[in-house]
Amino acid sequence: MASRDRAPAAPSRAELEAARDRTVDDVLGPALDVLFCGINPGLYSAATGCHFARPGNRFWPALYRSGFTPRLLAPSEQHLLPSYGLGITNVVRRASAQAAELSAEELREGGERLVKLVAEAGPKVLAVAGVTAYRQAFGRPKAAIGPQESRIGEAAVWVLPNPSGLNAHWTLDRIAAEMRRLRESLS
């Protein structure tokens, strides 16, 4: 295994606190089928530089179970996503301990940034993982999980459940099933 594929050591409490307000680089590539979009990086993700990195986050297992990847990827392998036609970004770029720390203005500004990013990256689908963040970022108060009627530029929009372990009423199996629905819609 290449050194960049090894899982980083768990950050210390001091490293987590130092990660507050950092950003995690977008993972983009040519010809993206899906650009996954988290709410914002948590401190664990910002400390490691890897999206959805906190142990217990269900993004990577759900991505694999849904059939988007042929094997379970570690967060440190996020650089492989473009080879599967996938990318990752966030609505709000700055890291925080909890998404509840984000202001409505930050979410709206993040939505504006996403419109520009989607125009530049050209994914077929923008998949936002978090219905509340999507509602606030795009002014869609009645949005629900699943495909949306509205588009962002040329991209279809799909809202996925937040894969955080804190979102207990969505099990890993249910999250993976929703991701599978998205994957199957691409055919």
CA–CA separation, 19 and 169 (whole Å): 28
Please report the pLDDT score of residue 3 as a whole number.
43
CA–CA separation, 137 and 91 (whole Å): 8
Quick one: tokens of 170?
């969505």
pTM of the full structure: 0.93
What Å distances lie between residue 31 and 73, 121, 122, 135, 168, CA to CA? 20, 8, 7, 27, 34
Report which of 36, 48, 43 is spatially closest to residue 4, judged by C-alpha positions. Answer: 48
Taking only the tens place, the pLDDT of each residue in 145-182 is 999 999 999 999 999 999 987 787 899 999 999 999 99
Taking only the tens place, the pLDDT of each residue in 4-25 is 555 567 898 899 988 998 999 9
- Counting every residue written for the chain, the total comes to 187
Please report the pLDDT score of residue 7 as a whole number.
57
More confident site: 3 or 108: 108
Taking only the tens place, the pLDDT of each residue in 112-155 is 999 999 999 999 999 999 999 999 999 999 999 999 999 999 99
**Under CATH, what is the fold of the domain 23-185?**
Uracil-DNA Glycosylase, subunit E (3.40.470)
Please report the pLDDT score of residue 154 as a whole number.
95
Contacts (Cβ under 8 Å, ≥6 apart) of 103: none
User: What's the pLDDT band for 74 if we cut at 50, 70, 90?
Assistant: very high
Domain edges within the chain: 23-185
Please report the pLDDT score of residue 187 as a whole number.
79
More confident site: 10 or 107: 107
